[in-house]
Amino acid sequence: MTKDYELMVILSPRLNADEATALNETILGMVRDNGGEIIKTDPWGRRMLAYPIEKVQEAYYFVNYFKLDSLAVKTLKRLFNINENIMRHMFVLRDEKVR
């Protein structure tokens, strides 16, 4: 069943701004490849982390909104976990009443 999702990704600061944007585009490509429909992307840029992750103090933030089959989320999580430039990711099921 297709549902609306919000995905926040925190990308490594070892990347420059163009590389971080390109990696986010790759992430969106993975969503499309799994049958997803991109609604919008909200780049937050480079920000300080709330707490250090592996001694890193800042990272690139992107929030992506899309429609995707719920079974494909598990596949995407597996792919994100093996990418060393994706420090953290979080899928949130969007409530249709909030919009």
| Distance, CA of 94 to CA of 51 (rounded, Å) | 26
Q: For residue 61, is it within any domain?
A: yes
33: CATH = 3.30.70.60
Could you report the per-residue pLDDT of 21-36, keeping only the tens digit for each?
999 999 999 999 999 9
| Count of domains forming the chain | 1
Give this prediction's pTM. Answer: 0.90
Q: For residue 98, is it within any domain?
A: no
- What pLDDT score was predicted for residue 1? 85
Domain with 87 in it: 2-93
Q: Which residues sit opposite 8 in a β-bridge? A: 63, 90
H or E segment to which residue 61 belongs: strand 56-69
